[in-house]
Chain A
């Protein structure tokens, strides 16, 4: 089965706190991709990062960092020194090739509220 689990439905933090969004995935494929998307209240899905299954290096981009661990099938996302503008729903997604096309399997999403 191919599945993405984001166990945290909602997280509420105060500005400047660090916050980690969890993502656990399941797949039998050896080649796959993992993504994080941000969906602010305006509605669009904003691409944040893509990792392939062969690259376990962690990545940092400004206040954002990602921790990919194949051993635990996790791809967690940390926001350092959170800001009100980080308030959004964050989706983790698994990209696999299935049925003849690239398929994106989304987790249920984590709603992050950052309060001033």
Chain B
């Protein structure tokens, strides 16, 4: 079983809906990530949180809004998405986020999102 838990596993939403993806880890990791993965492609980084602060936004459209309420939780709020946003959204966490501390990322099972 993965130590990073993502809910829901599947989500279907219309283009006018507002929904949220949730991610939780209890490994004491202080870096958390959102990745997007299209079919038959590698994951692409969206956001990085380090010590609950947004460190990196990889030019993600504002219809995706991340939130880190505490060190264990990471949310991704979705609003006015497009059909091309349909993908597998993966959350990950790692121990460190600094030079020389390239700790492995631990990924969740992902949320498979379909935008209709």
Query: Which residues of A are in contact with B by a Cβ distance under 8 Å?
Result: 31-33, 35, 37, 42-47, 50, 52, 91, 95-97, 99-104, 106-109
* CB nearest to B1 among chain A residues: A44
Q: Check if B99 sits within 8 Å of A97, measured CB to CB.
A: yes
Asked whether A109 lies within 8 Å of B100 as measured between CB atoms, the reply is no
The answer to whether B109 touches A97 (Cβ under 8 A) is no
| A43 in contact with B56 given A97-B100, A97-B102 (CB within 8 Å) | no
- In the bound complex, residues from chain B placing their C-beta under 8 Å from that of A91 are 42-43
Number of interface residues of B (CB under 8 A): 31
Contact A44 B108 (CB under 8 A): yes
Known A45-B43, A103-B45; judge A50-B104 contact (CB<8 A). yes
CB distance from B3 to the nearest CB of A (A): 11
Say whether B88 contacts A43, CB under 8 Å. yes
Contact B102 A108 (CB under 8 A): no
Residue of B nearest to A95 (CB): B102
A45 to B110 CA separation, bound complex (whole angstroms):
9
Chain A residues with CB under 8 A of B40 = 109
| Chain B residues within 8 Å of A101, by CB | 48, 50, 55-56, 97
Residues from chain B with a CB closer than 8 A to the CB of A32 are 102
Asked whether A43 and B42 contact (CB < 8 A) given A35-B104, A50-B104, A101-B50, the answer is no
Q: Measured between alpha carbons, how far is A95 from B55 in the docked complex, in Å?
A: 17
Tell me how far the C-beta of B31 lies from the nearest C-beta in chain A, rounded to whole angstroms: 8
Nearest Cβ in chain A — how far from B55, in angstroms? 5
Query: Nearest CB to that of A4 among chain B residues?
Result: B42
In the complex, the chain A residue whose C-beta lies closest to that of B48 is A101
Q: Which residues of A contact B102 (CB under 8 A)?
A: 32-33, 50, 52, 95-97, 102
Please tell me if B90 contacts chain A, counting CB pairs below 8 Å. yes
Residue numbers in B under 8 Å from A44 (CB-CB): 2, 90, 107-110
> Inside 8 A of B50's CB, which chain A residues have their CB?
101
Q: How far is the CB of A21 from chain B (nearest CB, A)?
A: 14
